[in-house]
Amino acid sequence: MAFMNRREFLAAAGGASILVPSILSGGGTPRPGGVPGPAEKGAQRLGLEKLQAWESWKYGMFIHFGMSTFVANELPDGLAPAATYNPDHLDIDSWIQTARDAGMTYAVLTTKHVAGHCLWPTKFTDYSVAQSRGTVDAVEAFVKACAKHGLKPGFYYCSWDNHNRFGSQTPSDKPGFGAAYTTSVYQTFQTNQITELLTQYGPIAEVWVDIPGVLGRGYRTYLYQTIANLQPDCVIMMNNGFYDKDRYDAAYAWPSDIIAIERGLPAGGSFAKWREIEGRRYYMPGEVCDPLGKEWFFVEGDKPRADADLAGQLARCLENQINFLLDVPPDKHGLIPAASRDALLRLRKNARL
């Protein structure tokens, strides 16, 4: 059976379903050229110095690993038994060592994806590593490995959850993405889990919340403030998905500290960091995220893209001062494939990092 991946699913849902039309002043538009005014500081939560420090990280590793790795489906129904997750040679330290050797400075781990299975022993569901055959707290091991190898740790958390529904309708249900929503009970669950993640593992550099549109503006604002209160120095991404150079869709993803550029660069490489959103000016740097191959999670036979393609993408990001978060998925054993590691080392050499 052929499964849709995330990109195909969102494309099939139609552009309007991911770019919800902004109402009144709900959208964000760039000043021509994204040029700041004299000595402009912006209305954003984090000061320019902190955001520019984040930009200086430049190149990081996105790590998609979890239940989707074992069911060979990026967007599973969440019904697979917890024991399905069973990496037999899990080596998270080697993931981060590979990232370091590739010239990366930070890493972001999928703590929970669409399947709803959690990579840490959470107290709020029985669908985690605690109930799996692979019982290692992968989040803890990830943070420790980042500290050991000098990388900054980040957490990804998906709001689309096909297992822990609590009455929510997800994008997997008919009629699809545009009708998806989360209940207040699910929202409490998400707050509790993110609180666990941000209070048990030390300082976290970046928090990546995916599919924020299903949360609603009110709860999303509350969640953003909760994350900021728990980890004041972290950079918060509410993933806006595919980039629209002409406006930022506040109705879907606001508030956020940075802008996602998923699966590619802006047309011509141009990117406006200064945005006017609901009558106020914000400095919002960008982050390109794209897999090493074609798939976010490990799929047998998914090979790294051509060296020239990867080197060109990284070069354009660096030239335009856009961070590049390159996804390198570990396999079912819990290891980064040798072909992926080799491609990353060639990329570092080609990019002269």
Tens digit of each residue's pLDDT (9 = 90 or more) over 45-70: 999 999 999 999 999 999 999 999 99
Out of 25-29, 170-174, 207-211, 317-321, least confident range: 25-29
**How distant, in Å, are the alpha carbons of 18, 21, 144, 172, 307 from that of 176?**
11, 17, 39, 6, 37
CA-based Rg of the chain, rounded to a whole angstrom?
19
Contacts of 133-140 with C-beta under 8 Å, sequence gap 24+, read 133/83, 133/85, 133/86, 134/85, 134/86, 134/87, 134/88, 134/90, 134/334, 136/90, 136/92, 138/65, 138/90, 138/92, 138/109, 139/109, 139/111, 139/197, 139/201, 140/200, 140/201
Domains of the chain as residue ranges with CATH: 46-351 (3.20.20.80)
Q: What is the mean pLDDT of residues 194-220?
A: 98
Q: What is the mean pLDDT of residues 239-265?
A: 88
pLDDT of residue 38: 60
| Three-state DSSP class for residue 293 | coil
333: tokens are: 């054993």
pLDDT of residue 212: 98
Beta strands 235-238 and 206-210, pairing class:
parallel
Specify the pTM: 0.91
Q: With cut-offs at 50, 70 and 90, classify the pLDDT of residue 13.
A: very low
Mean pLDDT, the chain, rounded, equals 90
Provide the percentage of residues in the chain whose pLDDT is more than 70.
Answer: 88
Q: What is the mean pLDDT of residues 9-28?
A: 39
